[in-house]
Amino acid sequence: EAQVTQNPRYLITVTGKKLTVTCSQNMNHEYMSWYRQDPGLGLRQIYYSMNVEVTDKGDVPEGYKVSRKEKRNFPLILESPSPNQTSLYFCASRSGERRNEQFFGPGTRLTVL
Amino acid sequence: SQQGEEDPQALSIQEGENATMNCSYKTSINNLQWYRQNSGRGLVHLILIRSNEREKHSGRLRVTLDTSKKSSSLLITASRAADTASYFCATDGGSYIPTFGRGTSLIVHP
C-alpha cells in the first residue's frame, strides 16, 4: 500500500530534550516536506526536499533541522524543543511531476512542556 | 511566500444542501489543489485544477478557477454528514511544494 508513515504519532517531551520525528514514504517520491498545523494558522511549511541531499527552508524553519540521506526518509529534528513548537506535524511527499498531489502522513502530535 | 486564503473560515449546513467555499491567492500559479482533512488526521487530496482550466468535476465536487481574480471555489453538492471536515486550498506557483491556506471548517448536520 502506497503510504507516508510518521513516528511517533504522539509525543510529550520537555524543553531542551532533543527529539526526532521520522517520516518514510514507499512511493519513490522525489519531493518531501514537513508542515506544522496550529489553530487559526493552517498549515505552514517548515522544510522541504527536492531529492536526496537537497533540502531548503520553508516558511517557519527556525528551531528545526532536516536531513535527506535516503530518498524514502525525511526526518525532522528538534535539537532543543521549546513550548512554542507544540503542534501537529505532517510529513508529505510527491512525485516529480509538479501537478501531482501530495500524499500526507497521519500526523505527529507533539507537546513540549 | 504565496498562500491561498479560504473563505468562509467556518460553514454549517444541513445534509442535502450544497456547500461552497472559496480560495483567494496572491500571485500567479501553475495549478491549484483542494484537500480535505478530517479532525486531527492527514490531508487527503480531492482535486487539482490547472491554471489553463476553468472548471473541473469529480463526483459531487465542482471546482472553478478564475485566474483573473486569483480565486477558486469548491462546491460540494448534496452534502452528507460524512463531508464534515476542514477543506484547504493549496497553490503551486514558483516553488515546487504547494503552500496552504488556513482552511474552511465545514459541518454538515444530519
Chain segment B23-73, per-residue pLDDT in tens: 999 888 888 999 999 987 889 999 999 999 999 999 999 999 999 999 999
Closest among A112, A113, A90 to A102, alpha carbons compared: A90
pLDDT tens-place string over residues B65-97: 999 999 999 999 999 999 999 999 998 766 666
By C-alpha distance, the chain A residue nearest B47 is: A101
pLDDT number for residue B40: 79
Q: Tell me which residues of chain A have a C-beta less than 8 Å from any C-beta of chain B.
A: 4, 31, 33, 35, 40-45, 48, 50, 58-59, 88, 90, 92, 94, 98-107, 109
Give yes or no for residue B2 having a pLDDT over 60.
Answer: no
Hey, are the CB atoms on B103 and A88 less than 8 Å from each other?
no
Closest CA to A91 of A78, A72, A74: A74
Pairs of residues, one from chain A and one from chain B, whose beta carbons lie less than 8 Å apart = 63
Whether A98 and B96 lie within 8 Å, measured CB to CB: yes
Q: What is the pLDDT of residue B42?
A: 87
Enter the C-alpha cell of residue B97. 511544494
Q: Is B1 on the interface with A (CB under 8 A)?
A: yes
Is B55:B65 a contact under the CB 8 Å cutoff?
yes
Q: Is A83 helix (H, G, I), strand (E, B) or coil?
A: helix
Which of A101, A103, A108, A110 has the highest number of chain B CBs within 10 A, making it the mutation to test binding with B?
A101
Chain centroid to CA A28:
17
| Share in percent of chain A as helix, strand, coil (round to 5) | 5, 50, 45
Give residue B1's pLDDT band: very low, low, confident or very high (50, 70, 90).
very low
For β-strands A108-112 and A103-104, DSSP reports them as unpaired
Pick A107's closest partner by Cβ from B35, B42, B48: B42
C-beta atoms of B43 and A31 within 8 A: no
Alpha-carbon gap, residue B9 to B27, rounded angstroms: 21
Interface test with chain A among B26, B65, B96, B105, by most A beta carbons within 10 Å = B96
Q: Which of A3-12, A39-48, B64-73 has the lowest mean pLDDT?
A: A39-48
**Would you call A102 and B98 a contact, using CB atoms and an 8 Å cutoff?**
yes
For the segment B9-17, the average pLDDT, to the nearest whole number, is: 96
For residue range A49-106, what is the model confidence (pLDDT) as tens digits?
999 999 999 989 999 999 999 999 999 999 999 999 999 999 999 987 656 788 999 9
Q: Dihedral sign for Cα A98, A104, A107, A108, please.
A: negative
What is the predicted pLDDT for the residue at B95? 61
Report how far residue B34's alpha carbon sits from residue B73's, in angstroms, rounded to the nearest whole number: 9
Per the CB < 8 Å rule, is A99 touching B42?
no
B-chain CB neighbours of A106 within 8 Å are 41-42
